[in-house]
């Protein structure tokens, strides 16, 4: 179904047929806009931005481009087309018809997951509130704003489900989604990573590479849900997510390219010399990767989780690509072998029910997917004739959630004494000096076609436009 843009709230869910729901959402809309003005991109309300807006949910419709002022962006409710006669793909009710309503007995589990998903979306916009001021180019500024408006829309996607299916509780949760704030001492966002500041563009690229990729995996598993409206809304969100990860992967790739250029010019890889030329030395980049990767790993929850087992058993949350990647969709007897610390400085193998290990199944798939960008960046480094390689740290390193939480290990995941861990952290994570240096590079470049000195230009512009196109007109 195409999207009806004549409505106050653009949608393809026939909102005008349900007056009560429409009124409730129209009541929430100004609260969202107030939140956007206060917590969204700071100081860019009057800028004209070259943005992509969905006009339909099929392949042709979802990428139509035009110049928009962000507060006028048409946030709306878009579900991917229904799959006729879709059946439940996993868990205890495998093979039964999917649900158009939430079964009462699973209501609180669904609500909790939808709220958690919804909470991350505005959180990321809040984290990126000030970044526009220090953009390395208008091309990058436009990409930041594209990501921001889409995360705003992802919030709408979850708020629609809360309003349409969870009655009064759902409406209250929708208000709370605007009341918690990233990093707030009293009312923080729910998940750890979404309270970390993103105050420079290197962090932004790491976040879109690693944290938006958690989004990809969580949305893929919710897209398998037996609750069909949730599955359909997540399926559409995934089409937007691809661009967010593209921004991260190409952003880091361009940082690497620029650094390699200067390494060649100077004939050195000494950090101090490179910093003298205003580029980001590769060991510094590695420390940023260590930080955001380890933080994002926590977003998958504990290795052994009864919440995860319940979500799988009840058909609430499946595995990414459940239908095509697995033979056994019920997993009643299957087990999973999990390396865990034995409490005596060694590692043991625990055999747990596969259902209880679903968070870990997702995390393993995520780690594999995260390797792809590193291979590409390392290819550039190799071609330039250097031995240095970027690496993902061990999944045991610097964890705060799950079996490895607060277990001191090095980047390879070897146990070390807590004292050694503390002492060596400056080798592994961005130091205050690293952050100050990166911050010093963050100077706004806003001439069309020009790039900051620490990042190479992208291979191409947006939607076949040139790199010197004025992607954002600052008014």
Q: Catalog residues that contact ligand BYC under the rule CB under 6 A.
A: 113, 116-117, 120-121, 124, 151, 191-192, 211-212, 214-215, 218, 298-302, 305, 307-308, 317, 359, 401
Residue 119 engages Fe ion in binding (rule: CB under 5 A): no
Stretch of residues binding Fe ion (CB under 5 A), selected from 19-27, 36-44, 244-252, 451-459: 244-252
37 vs 69: CA distance, rounded Å: 12
Cα–Cα distance for residue pair 160/150, rounded to 1 Å: 15
# of chain residues touching Fe ion (CB under 5 A):
7
Q: From the list ligand BYC, Fe ion, none, pick the one residue 396 interacts with, judged by a Cβ distance below 5 to 8 Å according to partner type.
A: none
CA distance 457 to 251: 9
154 binds Fe ion (CB under 5 A): yes
Between CA 80 and CA 75 the distance in angstroms is: 16
Q: Which does 401 bind (CB under 5 to 8 A by kind): ligand BYC, Fe ion, none?
A: ligand BYC
Which of Fe ion, ligand BYC, none does residue 117 bind (CB under 5 to 8 Å by kind)?
Answer: ligand BYC
Length of the chain: 475
Least distance to ligand BYC, CB of residue 178, Å = 15
Of residues 361 and 441, the one with the C-beta less far from ligand BYC: 361
Taking the C-alpha atoms of residue 387 and residue 256, their distance in angstroms, rounded to an integer, is 14
- Token duo for residue 442: 């963050």
| Residue 344 · residue 351 · CB < 8 Å | no
Stretch that binds Fe ion, among 75-83, 147-155, 365-373, 377-385 (CB under 5 A): 147-155
Q: How far apart are CA 240 and CA 428, in angstroms?
A: 32
Binding site partner of 223, from Fe ion, ligand BYC, none, Cβ cut-off 5-8 A by kind: none
CB under 8 Å to 421, separation ≥6 — which residues?
408, 409, 410
Q: Which window, 104-112, 204-212, 417-425, 457-465, contacts Fe ion (CB under 5 A)?
A: 204-212
- The CB-of-320 to Fe ion minimum distance in angstroms stands at 16
Q: Which does residue 285 touch among Fe ion, ligand BYC, none (CB within 5 to 8 A, set by kind)?
A: none
For residues 435 and 133, what is the distance between their CA atoms, to the nearest angstrom? 17
Strand order in the sheet with 48-53: 64-69, 48-53, 472-473
- 114 vs 285, which CB is nearer to ligand BYC? 114
- Nearest distance, CB of residue 36 and ligand BYC, angstroms: 15
- For the CB of residue 88, give the shortest distance to ligand BYC in the complex, in Å: 18
Q: How far is the CB of 300 from ligand BYC (least distance, A)?
A: 6
| Residue 232 touches which member of ligand BYC, Fe ion, none, C-beta under 5-8 Å by kind | none
The site string for Fe ion over 10-39 (x = CB under 5 A, - otherwise) reads ------------------------------
The residue among 90 and 300 lying less far from Fe ion, judged by its C-beta, is 300
CA-based nearest residue to 201, from 264, 263, 285, 117: 285
Residue 212 binds Fe ion (CB under 5 A): yes
Please, which residue, 291 or 437, has the CB nearer to ligand BYC?
A: 291
**Shortest approach of ligand BYC to residue 301 CB, angstroms?**
3
**Least distance in angstroms from the C-beta of 417 to ligand BYC:** 26
Q: Least distance in Å: CB of 298 to ligand BYC?
A: 4
Specify the stretch interacting with Fe ion by CB under 5 A; choose among 72-80, 119-127, 223-231, 335-343.
Answer: 119-127
Residue nearest to ligand BYC (CB): 301
Closest approach, Cβ 313 to ligand BYC, in A, equals: 13
Using CB under 5 A as the binding rule, whether residue 235 contacts Fe ion is answered as no
Which two structure tokens, joined as six digits, stand for 6?
């004549």
- Token pair recorded at residue 400: 């705060």
Residue closer to ligand BYC by CB (options 228, 303) is 303
> Quick one: what does residue 307 bind among Fe ion, ligand BYC, none, with the CB cut-off 5 to 8 Å set by partner type?
ligand BYC
* Given 213, 244, 254, 398, the residue binding Fe ion (CB under 5 A): 244
Decide which of ligand BYC, Fe ion, none touches 295; Cβ closer than 5 to 8 Å per partner kind: none
Q: Which residues bind Fe ion (CB under 5 A)?
A: 121, 151, 154, 212, 215, 241, 244
């Amino acid at each position: 179904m195409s999207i009806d843009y004549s409505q106050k709230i653009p949608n393809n869910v026939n909102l005008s047929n349900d007056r009560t729901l429409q009124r409730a959402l129209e009541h929430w809309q100004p609260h969202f806009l107030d939140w956007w003005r206060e917590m969204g991109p700071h100081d860019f309300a009057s800028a004209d931005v070259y943005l992509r807006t969905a006009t339909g949910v099929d392949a042709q419709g979802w990428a139509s481009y035009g110049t928009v002022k962000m507060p006028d962006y048409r946030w709306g409710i878009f579900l991917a087309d229904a799959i006729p006669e879709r059946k439940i793909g996993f868990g205890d009710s495998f093979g039964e018809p999917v649900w158009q309503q939430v079964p009462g007995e699973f209501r609180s589990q669904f609500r909790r997951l939808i709220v958690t998903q919804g909470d991350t979306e505005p959180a990321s916009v809040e984290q990126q509130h000030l970044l526009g001021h220090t953009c390395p180019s208008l091309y990058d500024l436009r990409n930041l704003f594209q990501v921001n408006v889409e995360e705003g829309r992802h919030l709408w996607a979850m708020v629609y489900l809360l309003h349409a299916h969870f009655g009064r509780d759902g409406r209250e949760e929708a208000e709370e989604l605007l009341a918690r704030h990233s990093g707030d001492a009293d009312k923080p966002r729910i998940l750890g990573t979404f309270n970390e500041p993103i105050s420079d563009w290197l962090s932004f690229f790491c976040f879109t590479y690693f944290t938006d990729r958690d989004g990809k995996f969580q949305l893929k598993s919710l897209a398998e849900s037996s609750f069909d409206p949730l599955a359909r809304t997540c399926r559409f969100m995934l089409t937007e997510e691809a661009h967010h990860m593209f921004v991260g992967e190409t952003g880091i790739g361009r940082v690497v390219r620029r650094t390699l250029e200067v390494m060649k010019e100077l004939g050195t890889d000494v950090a101090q010399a490179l910093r003298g030329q205003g580029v980001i030395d590769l060991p510094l980049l590695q420390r940023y990767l260590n930080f955001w990767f380890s933080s994002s790993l926590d977003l998958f929850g504990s290795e052994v989780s009864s919440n995860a087992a319940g979500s799988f058993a009840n058909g609430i949350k499946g595995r990414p690509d459940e239908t095509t990647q697995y033979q056994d969709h019920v997993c009643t007897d299957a087990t999973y072998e999990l390396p865990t610390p034995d409490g005596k400085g060694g590692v043991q193998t625990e055999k747990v029910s596969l259902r209880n290990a679903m968070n870990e199944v997702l995390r393993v798939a995520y780690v594999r997917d995260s390797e792809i960008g590193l291979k590409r960046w390392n290819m550039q480094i190799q071609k330039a004739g250097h031995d240095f390689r970027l690496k993902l740290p061990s999944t045991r390193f610097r964890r705060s959630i799950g079996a490895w939480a607060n277990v001191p290990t090095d980047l390879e995941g070897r146990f070390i004494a807590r004292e050694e861990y503390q002492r060596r952290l400056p080798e592994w994570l961005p130091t205050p000096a690293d952050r100050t240096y990166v911050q010093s590079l963050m100077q706004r470049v806003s001439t069309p076609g020009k790039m900051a000195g620490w990042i190479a230009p992208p291979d191409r512009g947006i939607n076949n436009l040139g790199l010197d196109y004025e992607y954002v007109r600052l008014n």
